[in-house]
Amino acid sequence: GAGGITAAAKLQRWLKGAKITIIDKREIHLYQPGLTLVASGVYDDRDVQAQNADYMPRDVNWVKDTVAAFDPDANKVVTGKGEEISYDYLIVATGCHLDYTAIEGMNESLIGREGIGSVYNGVDAALATLEESQKFIDKGGTALFTVPATPIKCAGAPLKMTFLTESRMRDAGTRDKGEFLYLSNSDRLFSQPDFNELVHNLYEEKGIEYTYHHVLKAIDPGARKATFSTQDGDVTYDYDYIHVVPPMRAPDVVRNSALAHQEGSFAEGGWLDVDQYTLQHNRYPNVFGVGDINGIPVGKTAASVKIQAPVAAENLIAMIADKELEARYDGYTSCPLITGLGRAALAEFNFDYELVPTFPLIDQTKPRWIWWQFKVHAIKPFYYQMLKGRVPA
């Protein structure tokens, strides 16, 4: 994934003479930020897939296997094939687990059937979502868009899928046949206040209904009914199309290990227990975390990896040299918030939800054609340069 390869690339550039090993069985690299565009017909499957071999840092030992167990007390990992690999320092970048089965009646095989879409589960799921949403666009009916109660990667994706589906329906001339309902898991539509206001105003303008404190609990695909838990009890809605965002948690290999949070809000999901600023593990100082696996307040985006990977690498090198860990992650995250085909705003903020714009001379909170072009054409080549360790933090 992005976190592991980028961190390894930084270490390979900065740490001379070290033996660096990546453990990952995946041959295909998935450009996850492009899945919403695949599910909307803007990209095709070739636009979001590459060969991991093309981006592996030079002289890195690539073990094509999974990690079956972490043993941080013995400074080793065990692979799926039973090989024990010892380490002096470890960076955990496993990503997160999409827990579809936590929703009663739901599993990955339903994506693309019975009016169910879900952009998160890879290329095939994104293509199936495109087909299922197109049926709704052609026929009309009621569309539901969900958000789980857990931390999720790319938290803007549920909003993007709502805006893009509505925009496609408007372009098709069938908008008057469709009802849209966005079911937020909290008391807001977006975590950052300025962009929360933007989404609120756009939903009002576009006739997209919304409600708060609704979490998808169960789904009956045959009857096309979805049940949500709310502050006032369970509520069931009929749907013709539903975009399901699965609950997310740490993969079992982290969740069931000593590396997971043992208490607090991140313990339930088994997220990696790291300091949110240094990205160093809070109990095993020779362990660091990068990417979606980290149990920190924000930062589950590819843009966050751009900052997190060099912070973790710099602090790991400082630890080797017995120096203070001075590199800091400030919570930077970025979301090119697509508001329709051809329009987007650019949300960039930190742990305190303060805006930290890369382009301060342009108001990034207003949807513009330029940010759409940035999302569709500019970010991907920038991303692949990041994998090679060539993008400064």
d(CA 213, CA 187): 6
Instruction: Mark whether 96 is an active-site residue.
Output: no
Which residues fall within 8 angstroms of residue 335, CB to CB, at 6 or more apart? 154, 155, 156, 195, 301, 303, 346, 347, 348
Catalytic residue among 22, 38, 123, 154: 154
Q: How far apart are CA 262 and CA 278, in angstroms?
A: 19
Could you tell me if 111 and 121 are in contact, meaning their C-beta atoms sit under 8 angstroms apart? yes
Distance CA 224, CA 42 (A): 28
- Of the residues 312, 313, 335, 347, only one is catalytic, namely 335
Task: Give CA–CA dist 290/20, Å, rounded.
Answer: 16
DSSP H/E element including 344: strand 343-349
Q: Say if CB 186 and CB 213 are below 8 A apart.
A: yes
d(CA 271, CA 247): 13
Bridge partners, 180 (sequence order) = 143
Pairwise CA distance, residues 234 & 241, whole Å: 20
Type of residue numbered 247: P
DSSP-based three-state secondary structure for 296: coil
Give the list of residues 6+ apart from residue 66 with CB closer than 8 angstroms, or none.
Answer: 23, 24, 25, 79, 80, 253
CA atoms within 13 A on the CB side of 194: 17
Instruction: Give dist(CA 380, CA 364) in Å, integer.
Output: 19
Residues with a catalytic annotation lie at: 154, 335
